[in-house]
């Protein structure tokens, strides 16, 4: 007989139990029937436990009452549920077995027993037969609390989808989220409950703790990070003893179980609580800090150009540039968190491009034909269009309403043990995963035909903005090339520097002496031209020759449909046809592109295969 951990666990210290398993692995398989040829000696309880259906049927047909209880008031349906004997469960239910019968030391129902073991099939069968998941056992726990305690993520999702509140409290006021934070050290079901709308502000009736209090008491690093960084749980709610999460955590900053990002959040909260000055509120304003982060590279670019153009010794210039770097580095560490630092590549790109425009208008335009300036500025219009589409456009986000999430969960749960395979279900977004999609850990969302997350546009590149990203790269290559061409015309006209007449190093020296600012901008144009051109060629090769995304190329060994196809893409046809498919262009009828909606494509071609799409299930979120 099982002892319920519901009441006892709350009183014990260090209640967090390692359960680092994904939801699909929590679905227990039906135990194998022992290899015996004669079950005639089994009584009905043993036959039920071992799944000897023929013997069970024989005894029931002979007159055995399916609702008869044993000495511990346990029914046959209890034993069938705890052993996941689906066929026998159906037989008992058809024979009138009481689905909500209470039995055992804990006064639990068959649904309680099946939930403890994580038997999704048995739970679905009992729920469809009318079992009540909100009934409490002797220690006050309903089924969703048990599922949260034992880390059965699929069951938690199924109960909520079938109408159980994610904030349902047990006899002691504990919610499923509190139990998950206290007992389970893996990411789910904590993340799943938050996605389903579980409140982080509720407190239990015994100690007045929130879910964050329980996570701190358990030293549950994953739950603490999830609650503070993703759910923005309050640090200021006191329990019955007056302890807030902030007061509990501030003594542990620097401990191994407190992550660096959480520590930064704690320090920020401590500083805010200590200082309420106008300056402090101004520096903590998110919009102000965002604009400061975006503006820093503009200022740094300009200051670096001033240093290079100053009439100083080269060693002094190098020293000043090093000092500038040190100041920027420590300023970034002091004022900007990881979220803002993620904007740095985008800020650097914007700063470089804006200063290129300034340099062209005020330095190069007077020394180059008007036609060159018209081409430069007009092509920049296309560049800005593609950039904004890549930056602010929808990359192909797979979204769903709460109702659709519930329908998906119920559909996959009732499909059987394979319903929650990571190839078909994302436990972070709670959506059915289309083919070639991936959950982006940076954006925390699923993206159709995911290619990669690009820091230079601060967005994912997927089915809906990949074409614009390629246009952005092509236009950026063109802009940098035009910038270099315009710079050479400036040097020839202003400084009389001719590459054909002067040697390479002599020309470099003359360029740096002629106008250091133009040389500084041109050097940046060379740098950007090099890496952008390489990225463009790499992307073009993957699209046309391989028929793959960047994610698929890097992780092809993890996908069954690539492995079974000899490492080649099952989506590839030929270079020209692949380009036509990507651009969705027929080129005046020359090609016949295969236009496919990757937002709603869930299956491979019937001629390929029907295996699960992922080989390594332990890494399905970040392949």
Mean pLDDT of 52-78: 93
SS (H, E, C) 85-117: CHHHHHHHHHCCCCCCCCECCCCECHHHHHHHH
CA distance 348 to 328: 13
Mean pLDDT of 487-497: 84
Complete DSSP assignment for 495-519: I---TTTS-HHHHHHHHHHH-HHHH
| pLDDT score, position 566 | 83
**According to the model, what pLDDT value does residue 19 have?**
43
Which tens digits make up the pLDDT trace of 160-177? 999 999 999 999 999 999
Sole residue written with tokens 């332990």 = 618
> What is residue 609's predicted lDDT score, i.e. its pLDDT?
39
Q: Could you confirm whether 323 is annotated as catalytic? A: no
pLDDT higher than 90, residue 419: no
Residue with the two structure tokens 């359960």:
19
Half-sphere exposure of 66 (CA within 13 A, CB side): 22
| pLDDT band per the 50, 70, 90 thresholds, residue 37 | low
How is residue 173 annotated by DSSP? S
Q: Per-residue pLDDT tens for 312-365?
A: 888 999 999 999 999 988 887 777 767 777 888 999 999 999 999 999 999 999
pLDDT top residue among 26 and 389: 389
Report the alpha-carbon distance of residue 31 to residue 52 in Å, rounded. 12
pLDDT band at 14 (very low <50, low <70, confident <90, very high): very low
Q: pLDDT for 272-323, tens place per residue?
A: 655 444 445 545 667 777 888 888 999 999 999 999 888 888 899 999 999 9
Question: Is it the case that residue 616 has pLDDT exceeding 50?
Answer: no
Greater pLDDT, 22 or 235: 235
pLDDT of res. 504:
63
Range ranked top by mean pLDDT from 245-254, 421-430, 463-472, 489-498: 463-472
Counting other chains too, the contacts that 581-586 makes at CB distance below 8 Å and 24 or more residues apart are 582/466, 582/467, 582/543, 582/544, 583/467
Q: What tokens does 422 get?
A: 């990571």
Under 8 Å between Cβ of 137 and 114: no
- CA-nearest of 8, 1, 204 to 108 is 1
Residue 16 has pLDDT above 70, yes or no: no
Q: What is the mean pLDDT of residues 139-165?
A: 95
From 143, 185, 446, 454, the catalytic residue: 454
| Cα 560 to Cα 63: distance, rounded to the nearest angstrom | 51
Check residue 603 and give left, alpha or beta (phi > 0: left; psi -120 to 50: alpha). beta
* DSSP E strand stretches across 448-577: 452-454, 459-461
What SS3 state is found at 461?
strand
Alpha helix ranges (H) inside 342-465 = 344-359, 370-392, 402-415
32 band by pLDDT with thresholds 50, 70 and 90: low
Give the per-residue pLDDT at 427: 79
Interval 567-574 mean pLDDT: 89
Answer for the pair 39, 48: CB distance below 8 angstroms, yes or no.
no
Overall average pLDDT of the 589-595 stretch: 77
Question: Where residue 417 falls among pLDDT bands split at 50, 70, 90?
Answer: low
Mean pLDDT of the residues in the chain: 85
d(CA 573, CA 571): 7
Which are the contacts of 498, defined by CB distance < 8 A and separation ≥ 6?
Answer: 492
The C-alpha angle with vertex 592 and arms to 589 and 595, in degrees rounded to 5, equals 125
Task: Find residue 184's DSSP bridge partners.
Answer: 17
Residue 329's Cβ-count burial label (10 Å; 0-12, 13-18, 19+) is exposed
Other C-beta atoms closer than 10 Å to the C-beta of 542 total 18
Specify the higher pLDDT residue, 1 or 444: 444
Taking the CA atoms of 517, 522, 524 and 525 in sequence, report the sign of the dihedral they define. positive
Predicted pLDDT of residue 272: 60
Q: Which of 99, 61, 46 is nearest to 77 (CA)?
A: 99
Per-residue pLDDT, averaged over 446-456, amounts to: 95
């Amino acid at each position: 007989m099982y002892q319920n951990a519901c009441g006892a666990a709350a009183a014990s210290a260090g209640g967090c139990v390692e359960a680092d398993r994904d939801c699909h692995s929590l679905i227990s398989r039906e135990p194998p029937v022992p290899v015996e040829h004669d079950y005639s000696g089994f009584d009905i309880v043993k036959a039920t436990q071992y799944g000897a259906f023929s013997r069970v049927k024989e005894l029931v047909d002979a007159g055995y009452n399916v609702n008869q209880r044993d000495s511990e008031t346990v029914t046959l349906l209890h034993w069938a549920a705890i052993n996941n004997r689906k066929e026998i469960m159906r037989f008992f239910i058809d024979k009138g077995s009481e689905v909500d019968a209470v039995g055992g030391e804990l006064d639990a129902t068959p649904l309680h027993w099946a939930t403890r073991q994580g038997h999704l099939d048995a739970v679905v069968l009992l729920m469809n037969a009318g079992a009540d998941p909100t009934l409490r056992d002797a220690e006050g726990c309903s089924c969703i609390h048990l599922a949260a305690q034992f880390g059965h993520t699929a069951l938690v999702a199924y109960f909520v989808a079938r109408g159980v509140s994610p904030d349902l409290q047990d006899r002691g006021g504990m919610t499923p989220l509190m139990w998950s934070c206290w007992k389970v050290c893996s990411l789910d079901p904590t993340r799943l409950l938050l996605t389903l709308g579980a409140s982080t502000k509720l407190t239990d009736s015994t100690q007045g703790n929130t879910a964050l209090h329980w996570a701190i008491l358990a030293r549950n690093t994953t739950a603490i990070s999830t609650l503070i960084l993703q759910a923005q749980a309050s640090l200021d709610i006191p329990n019955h003893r007056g302890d807030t999460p902030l007061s509990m955590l501030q003594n542990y900053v620097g401990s191994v179980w407190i992550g660096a990002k959480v520590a930064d959040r704690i320090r920020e909260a401590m500083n805010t609580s200590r200082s309420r000055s106008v300056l402090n509120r101004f520096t903590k304003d998110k919009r102000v800090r965002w604009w400061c982060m975006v503006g820093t590279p503009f200022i740094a670019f300009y200051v670096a150009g001033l240093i290079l153009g100053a009439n100083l010794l080269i060693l002094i210039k190098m020293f000043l540039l090093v000092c500038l770097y040190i100041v920027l580095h420590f300023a970034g560490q002091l004022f900007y968190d990881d979220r803002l630092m993620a904007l740095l590549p985008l800020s650097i790109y914007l700063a470089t491009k804006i200063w290129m425009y300034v340099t062209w208008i005020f330095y190069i335009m007077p020394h180059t034909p008007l036609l060159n300036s018209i081409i430069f500025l007009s092509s920049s219009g296309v560049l800005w269009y593609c950039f904004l589409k890549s930056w602010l456009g929808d990359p192909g986000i797979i979204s769903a309403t709460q109702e659709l999430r519930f329908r998906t969960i119920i559909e996959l749960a009732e499909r059987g043990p394979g319903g929650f395979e990571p190839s078909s279900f994302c436990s972070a977004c709670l959506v059915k995963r289309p083919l070639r999609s991936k959950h982006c850990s940076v954006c925390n969302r699923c993206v159709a035909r995911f290619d990669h997350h690009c820091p230079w546009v601060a967005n994912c590149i997927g089915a809906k903005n990949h074409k614009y990203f390629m246009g952005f790269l092509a236009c950026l290559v063109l802009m940098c090339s035009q910038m270099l061409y315009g710079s050479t015309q400036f040097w020839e006209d202003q400084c009389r520097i001719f590459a054909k007449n002067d040697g390479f190093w002599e020309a470099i020296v003359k360029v740096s002496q002629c106008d250091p600012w133009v040389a500084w901008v041109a050097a940046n144009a060379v740098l950007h031209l090099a890496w952008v051109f390489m990225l463009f060629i790499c992307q073009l090769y993957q699209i046309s020759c391989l028929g793959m995304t960047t994610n698929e190329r890097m992780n092809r060994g993890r996908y069954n449909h690539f492995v079974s196809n000899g490492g080649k893409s099952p989506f590839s046809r030929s270079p020209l046809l692949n380009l036509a498919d990507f651009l969705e262009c027929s080129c005046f009828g020359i090609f016949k592109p295969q236009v496919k909606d990757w937002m709603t494509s869930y299956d491979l071609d019937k001629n390929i295969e029907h295996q699960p799409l992922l080989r390594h299930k332990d890494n399905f979120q970040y392949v």
